A and B are shown apart, each in its own frame.
Chain A
Amino acid sequence: MSGQEPEVEAARAASAGTEGPAGGGRPRRCRRRKRNGAAWALVALQALCVVGPVAIIVLWAFTSAWPWPLLFPETFTTRGVEELFGPSQRLGEVLATSVGIALACALLTVVVATMAAAALSRYRFCGRDVARFAVLVPFLIPATVFAMGVQVAFLRAGLSGTVVGVVVCHAIVALPYAALIMVDAMQAAGSRLEDQARLCGAGPVRVWATVTAPTLAPALLSAASMSYILSFSQYFLTLLVGAGKVKTLALVMFPYLSSGDRTIASAYGIVFLAATLAVFLLFEVLLRRQVSREIDYFNG
């Protein structure tokens, strides 16, 4: 999951820089342009940090050797691409498994995180602060320790080596991130609009469907895309819980990295990046466009 996040952030920063409200007087506009220059410099720096490594991966994917003093590789090969799309790799199948697991994980995570967030932000109950902390515990436990516990538990539950098991354990990892986003969003949104909707005659289910979900849509999408990426880039947990039977892209890619076949590993890296970016763009751009951008939690 190396490169995607900074890139999206960079894109956001760029759009924030250009979308600012139309300036007032002339001196102000002047200052704004200068600030834009600084903003662009920062964005360019960040883009360099992201695009640079990606460019190297692309170069590696089409070369067989890149000895040290050379600035650019001198050999060209399509071996990586051929291998990648060769019948032995079953790329389509692996990709479908990866995307499917990640989407299922995103859905499961968002549903659970939203319910948890609703409970934590709307209800007063005994031990609420403890529960709020407990949601964040997976952050604090080292991944390896967590993975071993999960493996033992899932073996007993018969979930080991199944797609369902992988989805569930990915969801556990993604849950604190999603819950954090949803708790913050729900607390900021408060229950003002929901109270109003109830007074307009809407029952609990319809309040959720017509008011809560649409106003929380941006946060729901953020939580979903975060969970998707976490799941998609998960290697260690997939290996342990999937027991090698569930083959995701990260799982298939790793042996090439460790065995030193950089050409094929890079080719996989490109597919990995493209798949993540494609779905991320779908989440961020297409769905967000459906959601009114004018939603303002504090000024409904």
Chain B
Amino acid sequence: MRLDVRGVSLSLGERKRDARKILDDVSFTAPDGAFVSLLGESGAGKSTLLKVVAGILLQDEGSVCFDGRVVDGLPSHKRNLGFVFQDVRLFPHMSVAENVAYPLRMAGVVKRERLARAADLLERVALAGFGDRSPATLSGGQAQRVALARALAGKPAALLLDEPFSGLDESLREDMRSLVLRLHREEGVTCVMVTHDAVEALMMSDVVVALDAGRVVQAGVPQDLYERPATRKIAASFGDCSVLSGEVRGGAFRAAGLALPAPGVRDGAAVAVLRHCGLSLAPADASEAPAFAGASASGVAPVPSDALAIGEATVRCGVFAGESYLARLDVNDETLTVPVAALPKPGSTASVFADPGACFVFSAPK
């Protein structure tokens, strides 16, 4: 099913005067069979948007279309959707199998057939034999898999997932992600997933729709968002990075002793996002070399050929972070963090090298 959301706006609030605009003219399209992620920090309106798609909330403006058919007037129980909430929401008074069979029961499938299909679905989420148990006896990951099986039981036109993994341990999330992707592939069902985890969105989706403060700020394939982020928040959401504020003049960003090329950014206050993976460090002058000698011997800072020397900064301290050390450099009142192979000497000056593809400069809002 192709899902179109066109110009949806929604304000929520107890009364008119303290109404808050949660969604502001949101539009996106989920092609048939695609996996779409709605990415944003908490409060960005992504869960609200999913609830509008599901019909739990009714938008003030705009429309939601399934395969080109406007479904705005359709109550949620007639939209034929599968929905997995973050807090699982298994029915506590039913067994696991009855939970999974519930959508089939509502669709009027006879008991024996629906229980057989529930058993089949439970097997596919690796919970064969759990049918007679009570939901209260399941672990978090098991309960989430039951919820997933239940969402798929009614052969939904689309599967909506609201932060389905955020309640799980890190070790379980990876398994759950593969399970969701496998079921998505097998069923060929259109999936829309809400997440605040940008890396998760990259790994799972065909299309990522980034939301901020109720607006779509960028939509595209994961590579687009990673390589050409439209906002500072999107740029900063993929892995470790440092954010520096400074000034752009004549196509170059400056902050203390650092200068970055900033083509196409208008003059004025600006922020730069520097991903740690594209940064490296070298001693600033020969007199400091001994301090770094040991480091270069062990293969430190083999400065990549496409890296750009962007300036010098003072090392404040270094910390051990497992696979590498992190050097903290003072840039005005902010901190630039650069991964290094050995601890640099605090107080020394070092040259910073950066891969232009890992640095992004944005005009700072006034």
Contact = CB atoms under 8 A, between A and B. Distances in A.
Interface stretch (A52-60, A146-154, A162-170, A197-205): A197-205
A193 interface: yes
A93 interface: no
Contacts of B93: 214-215, 291-292, 295
Given A201-B154, A294-B134, A196 B89 contact: yes
B103 A201 contact: yes
A296 interface: yes
Interface stretch (B80-88, B242-250, B282-290, B314-322): B80-88
A201 B77 contact: yes
Contacts of A198: 56, 75-77
B239 to A, nearest CB: 34
B74 to A, nearest CB: 12
Contact of B136 (A210, A215, A294): A294
A300 interface: yes
- Max count, chain B CB within 10 A of own CB: residue among A195, A201, A206, A295: A201
Contacts of B80: 201
B150 interface: yes
Interface in B126-159: 134-136, 150, 154
Interface in A204-236: 206-207, 210-211, 214-215
A289 interface: no
A199 B14 CA distance: 25
B136 A296 contact: yes
A237 B137 CA distance: 49
A156 interface: no
A144 B90 CA distance: 49
Interface in A261-300: 291-292, 294-296, 299-300
A192 interface: yes
Contacts of A207: 77
A207 B105 CA distance: 12
Interface in B42-87: 54, 56, 75-78, 80-83, 85, 87
Contacts of A201: 77-78, 80, 103, 106-107, 154
Contacts of B360: none
B238 interface: no
Contacts of B134: 292, 294
B89 A192 contact: yes
Contacts, number: 72
B14 A124 contact: yes
Contact of B106 (A195, A206, A291, A294): A206
B91 A193 contact: yes
Interface in B105-120: 105-107
Given A200-B154, A201-B77, A202-B77, A296 B56 contact: no
Contacts of B107: 201
B91 A199 contact: no
A221 to B, nearest CB: 14
Interface residues of A, number: 25
Interface in B11-60: 14, 54, 56
Nearest to B90: A300
B92 interface: yes
B102 interface: yes
Contacts of A193: 89, 91
Contacts of B135: 300
A133 to B, nearest CB: 18
Nearest to B147: A196
A206 B12 CA distance: 28
A201 B79 CA distance: 8
A199 B77 contact: yes
A59 B14 CA distance: 61
Contact of B150 (A200, A202, A300): A200
A201 B88 CA distance: 17
Nearest to A191: B56
B168 to A, nearest CB: 16
A203 B77 contact: yes
A72 to B, nearest CB: 52
Nearest to A300: B92
Contacts of B83: 196, 199
Contacts of A214: 93
- Max count, chain A CB within 10 A of own CB: residue among B75, B82, B89: B89
Contacts of B54: 199
Nearest to A292: B93
B90 A199 contact: no
B106 A202 contact: yes
Nearest to B107: A201
Interface in B308-346: none
Given A124-B14, A193-B89, A196-B89, 11 more contacts: A192-B85, A193-B91, A195-B56, A195-B76, A199-B82, A201-B80, A201-B103, A215-B92, A294-B92, A295-B93, A300-B91
6 cross-chain pairs, A with B, having the tightest CB-CB distances, nearest first? A201-B106, A199-B83, A200-B103, A196-B89, A214-B93, A198-B77
